[in-house]
Amino acid sequence: GQDKAKFKGNGTINDSGNYGFMLTAVDGDPDTFRIKIWWEDANEAEHVVYDNGFDQPIDGGSIVIHQGE
């Protein structure tokens, strides 16, 4: 199997708005990275601001995932 880390949260862009974000990093062959940013309307529908589409292979460096304590 592959080790995967996923982080989700909320933040602002240029100090405004309320955006959700999700980062996914996979320690695999190759190592991959994905980022998605969106906002939700009053009906909780997602409106994607940015998404690199899928777990993109990185062409430099290395992702190593360590289990926290």
Instruction: Please write the tens of the pLDDT for every residue from 13-23.
Output: 899 999 999 99
Tell me, what's the pLDDT at 1? Answer: 60
Nearest to 57 by CA among 37, 36, 27: 27
Would you place residue 49 in the very low, low, confident or very high pLDDT band (cuts 50, 70, 90)?
very high
User: Are the beta carbons of 31 and 55 closer than 8 angstroms?
Assistant: no
pLDDT tens per residue, range 18-39:
999 999 998 888 888 999 999 9
Mean pLDDT of the chain: 87
pTM across the whole model:
0.74
Distance CA 44, CA 38 (A): 11
